[in-house]
Chains A and B, each alone.
Chain A
Amino acid sequence: MTASTAQTTMSDGTKGLVVRGLTTTFDTTRGLAIAAADVDFDVAPGEVVGLVGESGSGKSVTLRSIMRLIREPGKVSGRVEWGGRDLVAMPAEELRKVRGGEIAMIFQEPMTALNPVLPIGVQIEENLKAHTGLTGSQRRARALELMNIVGIPAAERRLDEYPHQFSGGMRQRAMIAIALACSPKLLLADEPTTALDVTIQDQILKLLLDLRDRLAMSVVLVTHDLGVVAATCDRMAVMYAGRIVETGTVAEVFARPHHPYTRGLLGSVPRSGHSRTMLQSIDGTPPSLTALPQGCAFHPRCSFATEICRTDRPPLDLIGAGRRVACHHHEEVAAAEPIL
């Protein structure tokens, strides 16, 4: 990818990704599980947005719903606008061209996401074959180039090797090379560093940011790690029980959380430079998705909760430019003693 093509990507007038009312439900034997509800968020070109929450908060489901990777009995509704088209309603063949071509996705565990019986080179080249008219030797050359871009040494030899012959970090790099083969404009990253140790994690995040700059691509980064968000994201959306409860720039949200759940998450991060105290945790556990509490789903665990929280679900209100929160008492929460 050269600088000039990167420029055209930036200026071709797309608004990036616009998600509106995205709702994903699963009809289970224990009732209807609402895994993601009314999810709204935007990703501007070149922007890195973090989707944060505990396990089961709906962040991965949201990401998979965008790509329509939800299997039966899952159902997805709402709109996912991409370049003026709705991915949710798009015909299969058109969607196939978007997947991998314009929007790519990487997964948490490359050991299970890479096909164990195909050489890495084949897994890169099949992507190119699906979306470009490159010849066999051109595809091979591009695969080599990609291996170099993501920093895999001895690329020529490693193209013919299988996933089990790679180390964890190299495997994640290989998965990124596969995903980025066709220079997508949006990368959906589902906990890409969770399975890696800390030093490798740092390298992979640096690589992602570097690629974002080089390819002028947007990134949606799903993670439960606030440290990762602080290090990489421009904006963030906090999810709880399938809903977005707070959005804003990373700096704003970290400095003044308006939702008690965000406040709790930030409070549970261990910090250096302070006297050693017990880590704070959020009392209770996330609710079952088949039996969400009335009103605000967070109220049983919330110290700010009052009667209205038990009856009325707070809407995701705009409280500033690009700053939204879903809490009846957000002013009170924001005014509370700083947590960081």
Chain B
Amino acid sequence: MPLFSFVIRRLLQMIPTVIFILIVTFVLVRMLPGDPASAMLGDRARDADVNRINHELGLDRPLIVQFFYFAERIATGDLGNSIGLKVSVLSLIMDRLPVTLMLTALSAVIALALAVPLAFVAAFKREKLADSVIRGTFQVGLSMPVFYVGIILLTVFAAQLKLFPVGGYGTTLPDKLYHLFLPALTLALSFSAVLMRNLRASIINVMNAEYVDFATAKGLKSRVILLRHILRNALISTVTLFGLQIGTLFGGAVITETVFAVPGAGRLLIDSIYGRDYPVLQGLTISLAILVSLTFLLTDIIQAWLDPRIAR
């Protein structure tokens, strides 16, 4: 099974990536100006108090010593406790990250649902009215900043039409999806614009391939030609783009969660930066980084499945 050994190989390649992420995260977090004690005690804190708290947290020890403590704890699955919230970072992440994951997944689904059919229409009606309308609309969506799109959608669909809640998060799954729909749509609009443009170009390219002529000459049904011969080949490059854009999508989730008051990892991340909550910041960054690498792995697997020439 070439695909199986390919997956194993890619999983092993993830180990150095994760170690690298650990180091970078640790260093970057400590390069932020300020420290947790100053952030907690405010501007008028006395130096003695700041130093005492920093000593309690072990932040006055040499960086390299701190790193090995950090790495040792990570290795046992312990991300430490939040400095500000006094609870374990792991429980915080387990609480908030699924929300962000759901938001990202929902927006990816919406983006694909918009991009794939519209890319087909645009490609087949190339340079005609439908193509121009689709591309023009997406161009507008692409050029607007995420927070701005979010505010417009909020104003129109939540505040005015009252079709969706203004913010927050539900308790049951349908309720959660309902709450997440607008933020997910916000994220999906620019994402689907990127996907649609890429897929349209890719479909046009594949449509002119000789194997599509051969498939036509074989008398296959147009559905088979469309899905098996055109879409599958066209998706190969779009899947790559999809994977690369997932990181951006997580970044966009941070902003969107703020606009829609969604209690996800994005808001936790921003709070932890303001509070110089090193353990939370580290834990979240690492979790997000690993998630992004896992998405890359998944993209690679999908690609290898779509295109057997990759998994050699």
- In the complex formed, the residue of B with least CB distance to A101 is B219
Q: Is A339 interfacial (CB 8 A cutoff)?
A: no
Q: Is B69 interfacial (CB 8 A cutoff)?
A: no
Chain B contacts of A118 at CB under 8 A?
Answer: 228
Q: Contact between B233 and A117 (Cβ–Cβ < 8 Å)?
A: yes
Tell me if B's interface is mostly helix, strand, loop or mixed: helix
Q: Contact between B219 and A98 (Cβ–Cβ < 8 Å)?
A: yes
* Chain B 209-226 residues near chain A, CB threshold 8 A: 209-211, 213-221, 224
Q: Is A271 interfacial (CB 8 A cutoff)?
A: no
Q: Contact between B220 and A114 (Cβ–Cβ < 8 Å)?
A: no
Q: Contact between B219 and A107 (Cβ–Cβ < 8 Å)?
A: no
Q: Is B174 interfacial (CB 8 A cutoff)?
A: no
Q: Is B306 interfacial (CB 8 A cutoff)?
A: yes
Query: When the two chains form the complex, which single residue of B213, B220, B232, B233 contacts A113, counting CB atoms closer than 8 Å?
Result: B213
Q: Contact between A130 and B233 (Cβ–Cβ < 8 Å)?
A: no
Q: Contact between B232 and A117 (Cβ–Cβ < 8 Å)?
A: yes
- Please report the C-alpha to C-alpha distance between residue A134 and residue B218 in the assembled complex, in whole angstroms: 16
The smallest beta-carbon distance between A109 and chain B, in angstroms, is 7
Q: Contact between A117 and B308 (Cβ–Cβ < 8 Å)?
A: yes
Indicate with 1 or 0, residue by residue over B291-312, a CB within 8 angstroms of chain A CB atoms.
Answer: 0000000000000001111000
Q: Contact between B210 and A109 (Cβ–Cβ < 8 Å)?
A: yes
Q: Contact between B218 and A116 (Cβ–Cβ < 8 Å)?
A: no
Chain B contacts of A179 at CB under 8 A?
Answer: 217-218
Q: Contact between A126 and B228 (Cβ–Cβ < 8 Å)?
A: yes
Q: Contact between B307 and A116 (Cβ–Cβ < 8 Å)?
A: yes
- Please report the C-alpha to C-alpha distance between residue A64 and residue B217 in the assembled complex, in whole angstroms: 9
How many positions in chain B have a CB within 8 Å of any CB in the partner chain? 23
Q: Is B10 interfacial (CB 8 A cutoff)?
A: no
Q: Contact between B232 and A126 (Cβ–Cβ < 8 Å)?
A: no
* Chain B 184-231 residues near chain A, CB threshold 8 A: 208-211, 213-221, 224, 228-229
Chain B contacts of A114 at CB under 8 A?
Answer: 211, 214
Q: Contact between B219 and A96 (Cβ–Cβ < 8 Å)?
A: yes
Q: Contact between A116 and B309 (Cβ–Cβ < 8 Å)?
A: yes
Q: Contact between A112 and B218 (Cβ–Cβ < 8 Å)?
A: no
- Please report the C-alpha to C-alpha distance between residue A67 and residue B229 in the assembled complex, in whole angstroms: 19
Chain A contacts of B213 at CB under 8 A?
Answer: 64, 69, 107, 113
Query: When the two chains form the complex, which single residue of B224, B228, B309 contacts A162, counting CB atoms closer than 8 Å?
Result: B309
Q: Which of B220, B232, B233, B236 has the most CB of A within 10 A?
A: B220
- In the complex formed, the residue of A with least CB distance to B235 is A117
- Please report the C-alpha to C-alpha distance between residue A69 and residue B306 in the assembled complex, in whole angstroms: 27
Q: Contact between A100 and B233 (Cβ–Cβ < 8 Å)?
A: no
Chain A contacts of B232 at CB under 8 A?
Answer: 117
The verdict on A116 contacting B228 (CB below 8 Å), with A99-B217, A127-B218 known, is no
Q: Contact between B217 and A69 (Cβ–Cβ < 8 Å)?
A: yes
Q: Is A150 interfacial (CB 8 A cutoff)?
A: no
Chain B contacts of A146 at CB under 8 A?
Answer: none
Q: Contact between B233 and A115 (Cβ–Cβ < 8 Å)?
A: yes
- In the complex formed, the residue of A with least CB distance to B211 is A115
Chain B contacts of A162 at CB under 8 A?
Answer: 308-309
Q: Contact between B217 and A67 (Cβ–Cβ < 8 Å)?
A: yes
- In the complex formed, the residue of B with least CB distance to A115 is B211
Q: Contact between B219 and A97 (Cβ–Cβ < 8 Å)?
A: yes
The smallest beta-carbon distance between B186 and chain A, in angstroms, is 35
Query: When the two chains form the complex, which single residue of A104, A109, A112, A126 contacts B217, counting CB atoms closer than 8 Å?
Result: A104
- In the complex formed, the residue of A with least CB distance to B126 is A72
- In the complex formed, the residue of B with least CB distance to A119 is B308
Q: Contact between B209 and A112 (Cβ–Cβ < 8 Å)?
A: yes
Q: Contact between B210 and A113 (Cβ–Cβ < 8 Å)?
A: yes
Q: Is A142 interfacial (CB 8 A cutoff)?
A: no
- Please report the C-alpha to C-alpha distance between residue A119 and residue B233 in the assembled complex, in whole angstroms: 14
- Please report the C-alpha to C-alpha distance between residue A127 and residue B219 in the assembled complex, in whole angstroms: 7
Query: When the two chains form the complex, which single residue of A100, A112, A117 contacts B220, counting CB atoms closer than 8 Å?
Result: A100
Q: Contact between B220 and A126 (Cβ–Cβ < 8 Å)?
A: yes
Chain A contacts of B218 at CB under 8 A?
Answer: 99-100, 104, 126-127, 130, 178-179
* Chain A 22-67 residues near chain B, CB threshold 8 A: 64, 67
- In the complex formed, the residue of B with least CB distance to A105 is B217
Chain B contacts of A98 at CB under 8 A?
Answer: 219
Q: Contact between A115 and B309 (Cβ–Cβ < 8 Å)?
A: no
The smallest beta-carbon distance between B205 and chain A, in angstroms, is 13
- Please report the C-alpha to C-alpha distance between residue A97 and residue B216 in the assembled complex, in whole angstroms: 11
The smallest beta-carbon distance between B207 and chain A, in angstroms, is 9
Q: Contact between B219 and A131 (Cβ–Cβ < 8 Å)?
A: yes
- Please report the C-alpha to C-alpha distance between residue A280 and residue B211 in the assembled complex, in whole angstroms: 38
Q: Is A214 interfacial (CB 8 A cutoff)?
A: no
- Please report the C-alpha to C-alpha distance between residue A117 and residue B239 in the assembled complex, in whole angstroms: 15
- Please report the C-alpha to C-alpha distance between residue A104 and residue B219 in the assembled complex, in whole angstroms: 9
Q: Contact between A164 and B309 (Cβ–Cβ < 8 Å)?
A: yes
* Chain A 121-155 residues near chain B, CB threshold 8 A: 126-127, 130-131
Chain B contacts of A104 at CB under 8 A?
Answer: 217-218
- Please report the C-alpha to C-alpha distance between residue A127 and residue B224 in the assembled complex, in whole angstroms: 11
Q: Contact between B306 and A130 (Cβ–Cβ < 8 Å)?
A: no
Chain A contacts of B215 at CB under 8 A?
Answer: 115
- In the complex formed, the residue of A with least CB distance to B308 is A162
The smallest beta-carbon distance between B214 and chain A, in angstroms, is 4
Q: Contact between B221 and A130 (Cβ–Cβ < 8 Å)?
A: yes
The smallest beta-carbon distance between B121 and chain A, in angstroms, is 16
- In the complex formed, the residue of B with least CB distance to A102 is B219
Q: Contact between A117 and B306 (Cβ–Cβ < 8 Å)?
A: yes
The smallest beta-carbon distance between B10 and chain A, in angstroms, is 19
Q: Contact between B219 and A112 (Cβ–Cβ < 8 Å)?
A: no
Give 5 nearest A-B pairs by CB, closest first.
A100-B219, A99-B219, A100-B218, A105-B217, A112-B210
Q: List 20 A-B contacts (CB under 8 A).
A: A71-B208, A99-B217, A99-B219, A100-B218, A100-B219, A105-B217, A107-B210, A113-B213, A113-B214, A114-B211, A115-B211, A115-B214, A115-B228, A116-B309, A117-B233, A117-B236, A117-B309, A118-B228, A175-B214, A179-B218
Query: Beyond A105-B217, A131-B219: 15 further Cβ-contacts under 8 Å?
Result: A96-B221, A97-B219, A99-B217, A100-B218, A100-B220, A113-B210, A113-B214, A115-B214, A117-B236, A126-B218, A126-B228, A130-B218, A162-B308, A164-B309, A178-B214
